[in-house]
Amino acid sequence: MTAVAVLVVHLEIAASGFETFLDILRAHGARSQALEAGCLGFEVLVDRERANHVVLIETYGDADALQALGLGAHGNTRRRPRL
């Protein structure tokens, strides 16, 4: 069995910027999968029962790939989204 590393993030997003933020998250997910060699998946899930709750699920090939988050040029921008 192959081990993978999964990062799960829960976010509450202000209603005023919800759709814009979702667009940013989805674009970031596409970049992550294209640019991060160890990124196997990036899902953006919207909770149907909690209006502004979003869950991000990032899947990486192993713990080393997960720990490498934020070390490259793409990763350094992940914590500074521009609205």
Arithmetic mean of pLDDT, 5-9: 89
Q: pTM for the complete prediction? A: 0.74
> According to CATH, what is the number of the domain 5-77?
3.30.70.100
Structure tokens at 23: 């667009």
- Residue 5 clears pLDDT 80, i.e. is over it: yes
pLDDT tens digits for range 25-68: 999 999 988 888 888 999 999 999 998 999 999 999 887 887 77
Classify each residue of 2-13 as buried b or exposed e, where b means 16 or more C-beta atoms within 10 Å of its C-beta: eeebeeeeeeeb
Give me the residue spans of the domains in the chain. 5-77
- Residue 54 confidence (pLDDT): 95
Estimate to the nearest angstrom the gap between the alpha carbon of 1 and the chain centroid. 25
Quickly state the pLDDT bin for 22 (edges 50, 70, 90).
Answer: very high
